[in-house]
């Protein structure tokens, strides 16, 4: 378990020509839909995209790696070959919108873990232009909240321990290796004093 969780990193450069079939994308959505959900509302629906034409229309609306300020995002040839669009179905909303976002985190982590098992890497994209939704005839009850970009990874991503808890920015070294600092276990554990009655 530790191995697959550690391997399931965010990837942003892919072998664009390596297609991901609709059947595989459906298998991944099948994992997403099994995630825990507040009040078991399961308010998310997913649209899978894997045609080069539609992928090309989606790509310009996405923002990549805000901390890598000198990188404009994946170049032609290393862009995602598929996307999963995550759509909130307001008719299915049982709890608060915040609870729905929790559910989406759970769902997309399932999806990304399943993808990694198939050697497919992904990147959640929350930073997209509102104009992206205009590509689609969205019914009133659906709103686009997140995309998961997918492809065969063409970059190395490694975890490292944060040296400084105030600096969590990921970075890329001179060999193009992407480094992701994670807070140490020690930093993540807290012990609260129990109030005396
Ligand atoms: C809800 C959410 C939204 C994200 N949105 C973006 C995004 O718009 N663009 C991007 O390049 N990465 C995005 N990411 C990826 C994060 O930057 C990435 O998870 C973080 O750098 C840690 O790397 P790791 O996933 O390998 O642990 C997003 C991640 C999450 C969970």
How close is the Cα of 195 to the center of ligand 1, in Å?
Answer: 37
Q: Is residue 148 in contact with ligand 1, taking CB distance under 6 Å?
A: no
- Identify the pLDDT of residue 165: 87
What is the C-alpha separation between 141 and 134, in angstroms, rounded?
15
Q: CA 37 to CA 175: how far, in whole Å?
A: 41
Higher pLDDT, residue 189 or 164 = 189
180 contacts 157 by C-beta, under 8 angstroms: yes
Average pLDDT of the residues in 83-112: 97
pLDDT digits over 21-80, tens only?
Answer: 999 999 999 999 999 999 999 999 999 999 999 999 999 999 999 999 999 999 999 999
Give the pTM: 0.97
Domains in the chain: ranges and CATH? 2-154 (3.40.109.10), 156-197 (2.20.180.10)
Residues 127-153 have a mean pLDDT of 98
Radius of gyration of the chain (CA): 18
Q: In this structure, which residue's CA is closest to atom 26 in ligand 1?
A: 9
Q: What is the pLDDT of residue 55?
A: 98
């Amino acid at each position: 378990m530790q191995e697959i969780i550690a391997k399931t990193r965010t990837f942003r450069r892919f072998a664009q020509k390596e297609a991901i079939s609709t059947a595989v994308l459906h298998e991944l959505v099948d994992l997403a839909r099994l995630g825990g959900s507040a009040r078991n509302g399961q308010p998310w629906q997913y649209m899978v995209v894997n045609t080069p034409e539609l992928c090309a229309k989606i790509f310009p609306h996405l923002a990549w790696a805000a901390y890598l300020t000198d990188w404009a995002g994946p170049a032609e040839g290393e862009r995602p070959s598929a996307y999963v669009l995550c759509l909130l179905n307001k008719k299915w909303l049982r709890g608060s919108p915040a609870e729905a976002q929790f559910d989406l985190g759970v769902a997309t982590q399932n999806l990304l873990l399943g993808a990694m098992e198939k050697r497919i890497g992904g990147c959640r994209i929350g930073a997209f232009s509102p104009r992206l939704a205009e590509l689609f005839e969205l019914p009133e009850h659906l709103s686009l909240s997140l995309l998961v970009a997918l492809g065969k990874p063409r970059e190395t991503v490694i975890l490292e321990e944060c040296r400084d808890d105030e600096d969590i920015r990921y970075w890329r070294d001179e060999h193009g290796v992407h480094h992701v600092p994670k807070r140490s276990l020690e930093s993540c554990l807290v012990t609260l004093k129990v109030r005396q009655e």
